[in-house]
Amino acid sequence: MIKVAIIGGTGVYDPNILNNVYQEEIPTPYGVVKFRVGEFAGEKVAFIPRHGSSHAIPPHLINYRANIWAMKKVGVQSIIATTAVGSLNLTMKPGDFVLVDQFLDFTKNRINTFFDGGTRGVVHVDLTDPYCPVLRDKLSKAAKKANISIHQSGTYVCTEGPRFETPAEIKMFQNMGGDLVGMTNVPEAVLAREAEMCYATVSMVTNFGAGISASPLTHSEVVDTMGANSENIKKLIMAAIEEISIGLEPKECCCHTALAEYGGFKL
């Protein structure tokens, strides 16, 4: 059984921390999902590079429903996601890690539920804690063990992309309480909760947001900062899998019963 998955964001394409890696292809109602599976710390771990292995899938065209469905189908209970983000908060600097705990959704054209009416019905899922508090706690412990400093909370603003923001938008997001801006955490986090899986995100700040940054933003700046910190990302993910493998006890949190009111999530 594969109980843990890593969804790697920009700059995290390679599951080279895993041993005995093989390719898996899982059909879902939304299309076939190809991903790799390997072993680490006695756990089987699935790895999906969110944008494809060569960054060919833009944020608004990622098949979020297929990815989460496939993970659920192979038995995954806990998903660690990584995201590259711009910062709106001067205390969160390029190179910093943030364990986000809230999001603001500014996406526009994404399907953000498994429940579109019809035979699957309608679900209004609770997101009081949009990221699993238990998994966040494990990531926090993992960071401490790996000697990596990490901001313990932050509000992630999810934009539609694929363009970067205007300085006026960045100012608005700051005024609304946003700390970070990225393009992928919604609907991924929402779908994971609908599928009653634990999901947490480690965001890596790659730049200050448009208008805060002194120069125009470039994708290479994002990729270069991720690359410069790839050893730390790897260390943190390895420590997190170890931490999960110590006590992967589902049902400690609200995630596994998120749809109890509706009779549970069904594939």
By CB under 6 A, name the binding residues for ligand HPA.
84-86, 159, 164-165, 181-183, 206-207, 209, 217, 222
Judged by CB, which is closer to ligand HPA: 7, or 183? 183
Q: Closest distance between ligand HPA and the C-beta of residue 203, in Å?
A: 9
CB of 86 to ligand HPA, least distance (A): 2
3-state secondary structure 96-143: CEEECCEEEEECCCCCCCCCCEHHHECCCCCCCCCCCHHHHHHHHHHH
Question: What is the rounded CA–CA span in Å between residue 233 and residue 217?
Answer: 22
17 within 8 A of 40, measured Cβ to Cβ = yes
Is the Cβ of residue 2 or residue 233 nearer to ligand HPA in the bound state? 233
Quote the least distance from Cβ 162 to ligand HPA, whole Å. Answer: 9
User: In terms of CB distance, is 38 or 178 closer to ligand HPA?
Assistant: 178
8: left (phi over 0), alpha (psi -120 to 50) or beta: beta
d(CA 51, CA 67): 11
In the bound complex, what is the minimum distance in angstroms from residue 60's beta carbon to ligand HPA? Answer: 12
Minimum distance, C-beta of residue 160 to ligand HPA, in the bound complex (Å): 10
Closer residue to ligand HPA in complex, CB, 78/89: 89
Residue 94 vs 133, nearer CB to ligand HPA: 94
Instruction: Kindly report the number of other CB atoms within 10 A of residue 131's CB atom.
Output: 25
